[in-house]
Amino acid sequence: MTAVDIAEDRVQVRQSDSHDRVHGSPVDELDTFPKLLLNHALQRGDKPAIREKDFGIWQFWTWRQMADEIRAFACGLADLGFQQGDKLAIIGDNRPQMYWAVAATQCLGGVPLPLYQDAVAEEMAYVLNDADVRFVVVEDQEQVDKVLEIKDRCPLVEVVIYDDPRGLRHYYQPFLFSLTKVQEAGRGYDHTHAGFFEERVATGKGEDVGVMLYTSGTTGKPKGVMLTYDNFIITGRNGILREGLQEDEEVLAYLPMAWVGDHLFSYAQSYVAGFCVSCPESAETVMHDMREIGPTYFFAPPRIFENLLTQVMIRMEDAGYLKRKLFHFFMNHARRVGTAILDGVAVPVQDRLLYALGRVLIYGPLKNVLGFTRIRLAYTAGEAIGPDIFDFFRSLGINIKQLYGSTEASVFVCVQPNGQVKPDTVGTPAMGVEVRVTEDGEVLFRGPGVFHSYYKNPKSTEETKDAEGWVHTGDAGFFDEDGHLKIIDRAKDVGKLLDGTLFAPKYIENKLKFFPHIKEAVAFGDGREYATAFINIDLEAVGNWAERRNLAYSGYTDLAGQEAVYDLIQDCVEKVNADLAKDAQLGGSQIKRFLILHKELDADDGELTRTRKVRRRFIAERYADLIEALFSNQSSHAVEAQVKFEDGRTGTIRANLNIRNSERFGIAEMRKAS
C-alpha cells in the first residue's frame, strides 16, 4: 500500500466524522510530521524528499537520508538541553537545513517558529521575547550578526545554531554552534540514548501545537498563532484531495518560511503527500531555478505574476517585428478562447485549432521561458490579483486559481473550484470549511484548520475565535449568486463618505494597482465629502514607458512629478472611476483628487508590512498634511520626508507635489451605457 492509498483511506474517515476531527479525536496513527517522516523513510526511502541547488548542481536527499539528518539534528538539540515545549526560532532562506530544523524541533515535542529573514533587529527581538525562544537556528553570518546584536535584549536565548560557517571562523561566543557539530553530537547522543528518539516521536499527538507563526501585524504588534499538527495535516490532506495532487508533484520553496502558505505547501503537504520540494540556489536565481525544476504545483502572491507579466511585455516590445506580431495575434486569440478551453467550456473547432497552433508557436515557448510548462495547479493569494494578469496566465492554459486564507485557518478558507474561476471572487469554501457572513458584512469561518490560540494572549484569542469555533476574519465580503465569496476590504477599514456611500479603500486601491504603472495606492475618504488617493508609480514600468517617449528623469521623485506621468496616471484613475460607477454600492466613492507620492512606500520606513500591505493608519498620520491638501482646493503642496537608506543612513527628500482632479462618472449613466 503506497502512502497515497493510505492518505485516501484516512480521508474517508475524515469525511464521515469531519467535525469530530476538528475538535481533536484523530483516528489514524500518523498524526504528526515526525511520524509521517519516519513512515516515508520506510515506504519510499529512496525517493527524493528535498532538493537544493548548490555549486550549480541540484543535489537531493532521499526520505531516508533526510530522516537521518533530522534525527541527528533533533538528538543534537536534545544534547544541548532542548526540552519538550521549548520554542526554536528559524531565521533563514528556504534551505533544506532550515526545514529540517522545523521537523527536528517537532520530533522533540518543541515548537518551531520560522521568522521573516529580512526582519529588522527590533522586530526580531520583539518576537524572540514574546515567544520565549530559547533556541535559534540561523542560516549564515548575516543572521548570526543580527541575533548577536539583539542578544542582550533577549535574555532567554541560550543557543544559536548556524548552518553556513562562512565568515564565522573567528566567532568565539560560547552559545554559538555550527549545525554540523550539533548533528555530530546528536549522532553520539542517539547512540548513547537508545530509544530516546523513537520515544519522543511517539509521544507527539495530532492535537499538539506543531508550529507557531507570527502574523505580519497590519494592526498592532504581531501575534504568535499556534497551530496544531491536525490543523496542517488535515488541511493539507483536504487540499491534496480536492485538487488531486500526487506524490510526484514538483514544488519550488521560495517564499518566506514564516508565511503560513510556505509552511503548508512546502512542508506540510510534502510530508502528507510525499512529494519532493526544491530549494532555489539564491533569492536572485528563483526564476532560473524554476525553469530548471519545472514545478507542477506553484503558489505566488499576485505581485510575482504581475512582475512576470510586466517582464514579458517589456521584453516583447524589444522583440523583432514578426515575433511581436505573432505574439500579439496569438495572445489576442488566447484572451478570447484560452480561459474557456481551460475551463472545459465548448469552443468552436476552428478556434481550438488556432489555439493549438498558438500553443506550438507562442504559448508553449512562453510557458517554457517562465518555467510554467509542467504546471498543473497554481495558487495565488494574499491580495487581489488584477483581472488582466489573471486572465493572461489562465489563457495560456495555466490553471491558476485564487484562494482566500489566513494564518488562523492554516491557509484554506475558500478556493476557486476548477472550471468555475471568476476573477473577482475567491471561490467557494474549502473542503471541510464552513463560511458565514454576519449582518454587518464580516466573514467568519470554521473548520479543521482553525488555529489553537494566540500565544500568551487569551484576550485576542477570545476576540477572534468565538465559543462555537467561528473565527472572525475582520474582512468584509459577501457571497455572490453562485455561492462564491467576494472580499471587498478589511471590515474596519470599510467606511462611509459624508453622504453615506460605502467606501472600501482596499477595493479601490486594488483596482488602481491592477494597472501596471501603479505600484501602490492608498485611498482616503472615510467621513469625508469625496474619495481621494495617493499613488506610487511602478518605477520599472513607468521608467520604461518614459524611455520609449524620450522623457528624461533622474530618479523616482523626478519621474513621479512629471506632467506626462500625471496624465498617464490620471487616465488610469479615470478608468477605475468608470469601473466603480458600474457598482451600485460603491459607485459614489469614485476618486475626485489624487497625487503621486514623491517616494516609494517602503517597509523599512514602516509604511508597509513585510508582506507589503499598506499600513493605513501610519500613513494617514505621517502624511496628514498631504491628505488635508487633497481635501482642500490646493493644486500643489510642498513636502519634506525623512527616508532611511539601505545602509542605515537617513536623508531628506524635498518635493513639490501636484494634485490633480480626475473626472468622475454618473452611476446611473454608466449603467445605461453598459
Footprint of another protein (CB under 8 A): 54-57, 166-167, 169-171, 281-282, 284-285, 288, 646-647
Q: How far is the CB of 169 from another protein (least distance, A)?
A: 6
Nearest C-alpha neighbor of 266 from the set 282, 281, 249, 283:
249
Q: Which is nearer to another protein, 169 or 549 (CB)?
A: 169
**Does the CA dihedral 648-652-656-662 come out positive or negative?**
positive
Q: Are 670 and 574 in contact (CB under 8 A)?
A: no
Q: Which is nearer to another protein, 284 or 468 (CB)?
A: 284
Q: Which is nearer to another protein, 85 or 167 (CB)?
A: 167
Q: Which is nearer to another protein, 16 or 173 (CB)?
A: 173
Neighbours of 491 (CB within 10 A): 18
Element (H, E) at 90: strand 87-91
Q: Checking DSSP bridges between strand 650-661 and strand 591-596, what pairing results, if any? A: antiparallel
In whole angstroms, what is the distance from residue 518 CA to residue 653 CA?
Answer: 21
Neighbours of 97 (CB within 10 A): 24
Q: How far is the CB of 58 from another protein (least distance, A)?
A: 13
Q: Which is nearer to another protein, 164 or 249 (CB)?
A: 164
Distances (CA, A) of 505 to 472, 492, 493, 621: 20, 11, 7, 16
Q: Which is nearer to another protein, 166 or 221 (CB)?
A: 166
Nearest C-alpha neighbor of 73 from the set 41, 100, 37, 95:
100
Tell me the one-letter amino acid at 356: A
Q: How far is the CB of 291 from another protein (least distance, A)?
A: 12
Q: Which is nearer to another protein, 165 or 606 (CB)?
A: 165
Q: Which is nearer to another protein, 59 or 438 (CB)?
A: 59
DSSP 312-347: HHHHHHTS-HHHHHHHHHHHHHHHHHHHHHHTT---
Q: How far is the CB of 242 from another protein (least distance, A)?
A: 36
Q: Are 523 and 488 in contact (CB under 8 A)?
A: no
Q: How far is CA 537 from the centre of its chain?
A: 22
Q: How many helices (H) and strands (E) does the chain have?
A: 26, 28
Q: How far is the CB of 5 from another protein (least distance, A)?
A: 40
Q: How far is the CB of 10 from another protein (least distance, A)?
A: 41
Q: How far is the CB of 176 from another protein (least distance, A)?
A: 12
Q: Which is nearer to another protein, 140 or 605 (CB)?
A: 140
Q: How far is the CB of 196 from another protein (least distance, A)?
A: 36
Q: Which is nearer to another protein, 127 or 144 (CB)?
A: 144
Q: How far is the CB of 166 from another protein (least distance, A)?
A: 7
Nearest C-alpha neighbor of 588 from the set 511, 512, 644, 667:
667
Nearest C-alpha neighbor of 619 from the set 516, 536, 508, 555:
536
DSSP 119-150: --HHHHHHHHHHTTEEEEEESSHHHHHHHHHH
Q: How far is the CB of 91 from another protein (least distance, A)?
A: 18
